[in-house]
Chain A
Amino acid sequence: MSDFNIQIPTVAELTAKGEKPDVLFWVGCAGSFDDRYKKVTKAFVKILDKVGVKFAVLGEEETCTGDPARRAGNEFLFQMQAMANIQVLNGYEITKIVTACPHCFNTLKNEYPALGGDYEVVHHSTYLQELIDQGKVTAKEGDFKGKKITFHDSCYLGRANNIYEAPRKVLEILDAELVEMKRCKTNGLCCGAGGAQMFKEPENGKKDINIERTEEALDTGAEIIASGCPFCMTMMSDGVKNKEKEGQVVVKDLAELIAEAEDLI
């Protein structure tokens, strides 16, 4: 094992050693399986490792929070998932959870308490902001100098949970130019994937929502579209592809940008 620079312990492993993590990193289904979002998971883990926080993941014991099932109306399936997860989390006496997925964040934070799961749940944008405030995360100067970045508010971070400042604070240390889209913060426009839309074709209309949103992002002239959500990442990347702008514009997660600025990637 000593070959490996990064230790990614599972909670089960820690428990076997009689230890407990300070914070559980909830990876989420997209973070575990989606090829693009796995990169975000890895970037975030590298940051956690670098700052030396005692974290752990559930590994194969993690399962879907049930968010898409609940929003598609299947309350039974949601609750089955939630209760199974709560049994695992409570079994390990987890107290603090960090996740890069606003959907997991919202469900764990707001919806699990009614079913007996009470944890301190933090989205990685807030977590990163705290690390920055504590001086534990800094950015190397110059990498992003003169670059325009626009942040796409995820509905489940913003309107659903009132987190607008943390992601912007995180981007501020990049020494880039932060530009806002026409619709941002409380007025932000959905990427089109929430409410289980990710898992079906959109209804008929004039346009797909992600195209509309990508147009707004491109209108800012930004070279980087920053996001803090796996669904937004997919939708915006598809939008950029659709507009044939992959050459000029990239979609990146907050964690990736910070990892890059810290020379971790």
Chain B
Amino acid sequence: MSLLSQLFFLILLGVSAFFIGRRILQIRKNILLGKEEDRTDQPQRRLKTMLLVAFGQKKMFKRPIAAFLHLLIYVGFLLINLEVLEIVLDGLFGTHRLFAPLLGSFYPVLINFFEFLVVGVIFSCVVFLIRRHVLKISRFTKIEMKGWPTMDATLILVIELVLMVAILAMNGADQVLQTKAVAGYPVTGAFFFSSIFIPLFEPLSANTLIIIERVAWWGHIAGIFAFAYYITYSKHLHIFLAFPNTYFSNLKEKGEIKNMDNVTNEVKSMLGLPADPPPAEIPRFGAKDINDLSWKHLMDAYACTECGRCTDSCPANTTGKVLSPRTIMMKTRDRAEEVGESIRKGGAGLEDGKSLYGDYINKEELLACTTCNACVEACPITIDPLSIIIEMRRYMAMEESSTPQSWNAMFQNVETSFAPWKFPPTDRFNWAQDVKAKISDQ
């Protein structure tokens, strides 16, 4: 029996690892559809940013209640993995509670600690479900959240709840089995929270309890594998990508818009200045599709948790314009997934007649942005929706020449009068005459 279950466990582990690994490679490929961008300078500052923002959850604390609940789930997630390690080893070696004899009296302390975390996670998941479905917090019910995104969020919370309840049921049955001195269930001492199941389990026969314990055990571990695979399709990918995403985040002042070096070369040669290297054939100005964006833009899109803090603070969105920075991120990811999937199947990929700009994100959205950086500031994992917006505006202005008439007039003024308004450049210094005149009148 044990050997059979060991074999079965090995197969389950192998199959899970295969599918999860395949998805990870696919996501990596999709992200690498983006252009190169160097984000390897200042490694120490990067590491510090990652530790503070991803590991330390620094930016979450702008909203303390959500931050606290999220922290419970996050710490639970990190630490309960230690128990998962025991479960995996037990599965492979056909043992039961492998760590118990090794850790001695410390073992129940550890398990009790995990149970506290489990209850913390359950509490947070329940509150989160209430916030989404009963209180209907506005950022969770915006138009871009209709359908799958809300379903995804709900599913994750429910799965986490089930996994946590499975741990408690498993420990509860285990304790009763211990008191009944069933072989293979070493005495570990009492567990704090799962003992609530004891009155429920006490009257049951040892066989039934073993079944319950085993079902909970297998359910828990198989659930974790399924969950791990599922999150590669979900916004919950952020639990992994938040780390590299903060490490590679933009360290420059938010106000700086990245220089287009290929344009610099063209402008220099137009002005007769030495340009290095000589202007090469430029495939495209700005971004029409995901391959015109950088890999970091695409990593941003995969890391986005759809929390909507960006959209919530966006002046355009909050005053009713169609722009939502969260939608920009979601659409970018959708497009990257679509293209990646098509390439994987040997399909048209980027040449499918569609593009991010136009088919996913429209002009009206892009034009509404005030470049205020509120979205960038708000994002708990340093995602930069503004930078994608600017790249697509560049495409509009330089490739399509489809900027609004009033902007074209502004361009014209800058070009001919050297100011965005149509004033004669010779009047530029007139204000000084005013000051002088006024004072001389006194």
Complex Cα distance, B324 from A203, in Å, reads 13
**Contact of A90 with B by CB under 8 A:** no
Establish whether residues A205 and B420, one from each chain, have CB atoms under 8 Å apart when the complex forms. Answer: no
A196 at the A/B interface (Cβ < 8 Å)?
yes
Chain A residues, Cβ within 8 Å of B398: 73-76
Cα distance A80–B369 in the bound complex, in angstroms = 24
Which range contains the number of B residues in contact with the other chain?
Answer: 35 or more
Question: Which of B253, B273, B419 is A160 in contact with, Cβ under 8 Å?
Answer: B253
Encode contact with B along A63-83: 1 for CB under 8 Å, 0 otherwise.
Answer: 110101111111111011101
**Stretch of B4-12, B145-153, B235-243, B409-417 that contacts chain A:** B409-417
The CA of A34 and the CA of B430, in the complex, are separated in Å by 11
Chain A contacts for B418, CB-based, 8 A: 63-64, 81
With a CB–CB cut-off of 8 A, which chain B residues contact A155? 370-374
Q: Closest Cβ of chain A: how far from B52's Cβ, in Å?
A: 16
Query: A228 at the A/B interface (Cβ < 8 Å)?
Result: no
When the two chains form their complex, are residues A4 and B370 in contact, meaning their CB atoms are under 8 A apart? Answer: no
Contacts of A31 in B (CB 8 A): 431
Partner pick for B390 among A68, A73, A114, A202, CB 8 A cutoff: A73
Is the Cβ of B267 less than 8 Å from the Cβ of A159?
no
**Residue B321 contacts which of A6, A27, A159, A202 (CB distance < 8 angstroms)?**
A202
Interface residue B376 (Cβ < 8 Å from any Cβ of A): yes
Docked-complex contact B376 and A207, CB < 8 angstroms:
no
Cβ contacts under 8 Å, B394 to chain A: 73, 75
Give Cα distance in the complex from A60 to B261, angstroms: 29
Let me know if B370 and A203 touch, CB within 8 A. no
Binding site for A on B (CB under 8 A): 62, 252-257, 259-260, 263-264, 266-268, 270-271, 273, 285-286, 313, 315-316, 318-323, 364, 367-374, 376-377, 390, 393-398, 403-404, 406-407, 409-411, 414-415, 418-421, 423, 425-432, 434-436, 439-440, 442
27 A–B contacts from the bound complex (CB under 8 Å) = A3-B436, A8-B436, A32-B428, A42-B431, A42-B434, A45-B432, A68-B410, A68-B414, A69-B414, A71-B393, A73-B395, A76-B263, A76-B266, A80-B271, A83-B268, A106-B255, A111-B259, A155-B371, A155-B372, A159-B255, A186-B377, A190-B370, A194-B371, A200-B410, A201-B406, A203-B323, A206-B319
Residues of chain A having any CB pair with chain B under 8 Å: 3-6, 8, 10, 27, 29, 31-34, 38, 41-42, 45-46, 57, 59-60, 62-64, 66, 68-77, 79-81, 83, 106, 109-111, 114-115, 155-156, 159-162, 186-190, 192-209, 212-213
